Structure formats: structure tokens, C-alpha cells
Amino acid sequence: MKKLVILGPGCPKCNKLYDETEQAAEELGLEFEMHKITDIRAISGFGVMTTPALVVDGEVKCVGKVPSTEELKALIGGE
């Protein structure tokens, strides 16, 4: 099961990344769980200084942008 985490304070881009990541995972047919971390201290604990950010299975995959659906599929679908 993939663990997908969105890091961000809750801005529109953060919410968009959450929604689009969830959609991409569903389209790939993945078993996944989604989480959102909004606490700035917890976000900085990942070494992230620019939001939004996507973390897949504990690894930061993208920072500071909302990738396209195809990019998201590549980021979350890879083993």
C-alpha cells in the first residue's frame, strides 16, 4: 500500500495537489492512503521549505509545484 502525503499549510495549490494526487492514484488502481500535513514544523522535518510538496512512502518526490496528472502517475506509480 502506498502512503501518499501532501505537505502544505492548506493553500489552494496544496489542496489542488491533494485532489490531483488522489485522482492519479485512483486512476492507477493503487491501494493507497492519503494524508495531509499542515504543521510547518512537521513539514520542515522533511527538509521542505517550499510548498506544496508530495511525499511517497516517506520520500519527497516533488516540491513547490503541482505536477500534471501524468507526472503524478509516474511519481506515485513507480516501485
Please, what sign has the CA dihedral across residues 63, 67, 71, 75? positive
Please tell me the predicted confidence (pLDDT) of residue 71: 96
Architecture of the domain delimited by 2-77:
3-Layer(aba) Sandwich (3.40)
Residue 44 CA to residue 77 CA, distance in Å, equals 25
The residue type at 49: M
In this prediction the pTM is 0.93
**Known catalytic residue at 62:** no
**Residue 15 pLDDT > 60:** yes
Please tell me the predicted confidence (pLDDT) of residue 61: 97
Spot the catalytic one: 4, 5, 7, 14.
14
Cell of 57: 512512502
What are the sequence ranges of the domains in the chain?
A: 2-77
Q: What is the pLDDT of residues 19-51, one digit of tens each?
A: 999 999 999 999 999 999 999 999 999 999 999
CB 3 within 8 A of CB 32: yes
Spot the catalytic one: 3, 9, 10, 11.
11
Please, what sign has the CA dihedral across residues 74, 69, 65, 21? negative
